[in-house]
A and B are shown apart, each in its own frame.
Chain A
């Protein structure tokens, strides 16, 4: 068991596809929440394998894409401070804010370093005691515990030059906001596999219970995704929405308790601003009082200036599932992965980037 190849077996995929085709009689629209699922669905050509009754829609599950411009501006302003080293995941580098990007700031002399892990950011802090290291903390519940762990570790080591800009986002509140808006009608949701590895499958129960929408938590291999779609189809046909887990090797109903504890020790929920969706209650994380000394926003005085949205970019609508990249006039013309106008084209898991790389021909 190596946990990869086994879940790419074509014999099992064939069976699942046959079963989906046989069962999916009524038209159904499913949203895959995760950008990672969007990419896998394109990469493995899953859309073309599904019967015409099933419509797949991409959701807001890309932390880079949902980061609001005002928050990007803060990250860039922090990076531009003298004696600050900004440590960031590579995905954030090219994302345009209102006036600049981390990459441009770097070209203009800011000390911006790409790290693979917060462990690397801690190492930079150890090696540069006279400078302040600010980690640009973006991510969903998958990533937030790793950032919480880095804060606890910095505390233990008394690394007093380590800070985090907490731009974390929580996923159940955004799903709730999407459903409450009534803008997009869904029959099922392919729920995030790695977020749910941390938070468990139980936080999705409200979707089935309160909204009557089918849920299946999925992994990222083709068998996982097909199995989750098969589960959604069964729930729709049986008119029995619930939360199924198609990723049992990783996801349990109550998640990773230890990771949740660490996250809860360091952070507490707060309102957060989402691109395209505005301020959503309890959808972000801020430092608890005891850990405020790590909060980059409190520690440094920055003035990011007024916020502007990129003209013509419809990322906000795409993230809400009401438009697709094909509806954007800039797509593949003025906006490409080399010259991205909006974040959905920058991030490797953004919908625009996935459409660009894997061909717009997949548009149903």
Chain B
């Protein structure tokens, strides 16, 4: 029910955007994320972008996990 999936913003028209999920275009509302820009990844929940995903944080999480291995 709280399912949300990452989508890439392709174009923005007012409070709506055209986003791409796995190659498929979808209209999404930006009511909850007015800061979203073209090229951002957002999380889509029931047709609304509920936040802009943070690429830096994603890379940082992966980097920390990669380093984990060196402990062993």
A89/B46 contact (C-beta < 8 A), A15-B65, A197-B4, A258-B32 known: yes
Cβ of A194 within 8 Å of any chain B Cβ, yes or no, is: yes
* A to B contact number (C-beta, < 8 Å): 135
Cβ of A63 within 8 Å of any chain B Cβ, yes or no, is: yes
The interface on chain A, measured as residues whose beta carbon lies within 8 A of the other chain's beta carbons, has a size of 54
Of B2, B33, B71, the residue contacting A140 (CB under 8 A) is B2
Give the residues from 190 to 214 in chain A that come closer than 8 angstroms, CB to CB, to chain B. Answer: 192-195, 197-198
Interface string of A63-82 (1 = CB under 8 A from B): 11000000000000000000
Looking at chain B, what size class is its interface with the partner chain?
20 to 34
Distance to closest chain B CB from A160 (angstroms)? 20
A352 to B38, CA, bound (A): 41
A223/B65 contact (C-beta < 8 A), A142-B50, A249-B57, A349-B1 known: yes
A145 to B65, CA, bound (A): 33
Chain B residues near A64 (CB-CB < 8 A) = 1
Per DSSP, are chain A's interface residues mostly helix, strand or loop, or mixed?
Answer: helix
Per DSSP, are chain B's interface residues mostly helix, strand or loop, or mixed?
Answer: mixed
Taking a contact as CB atoms under 8 Å apart, the answer to whether B33 and A258 are in contact is yes
Cβ of B24 within 8 Å of any chain A Cβ, yes or no, is: no
Contact residues of B with A, CB < 8 Å?
Answer: 1-4, 6, 27, 29, 31-34, 41, 43, 45-48, 50-51, 53-55, 57-62, 65-66, 68-69, 71-72
Distance to closest chain A CB from B43 (angstroms)? 6
Taking a contact as CB atoms under 8 Å apart, the answer to whether A146 and B62 are in contact is no
Taking a contact as CB atoms under 8 Å apart, the answer to whether B54 and A248 are in contact is yes
Taking a contact as CB atoms under 8 Å apart, the answer to whether A6 and B50 are in contact is no
10 tightest Cβ-Cβ pairs between the two chains A and B: A117-B47, A3-B6, A249-B58, A149-B31, A248-B57, A142-B2, A194-B2, A259-B32, A146-B48, A12-B65
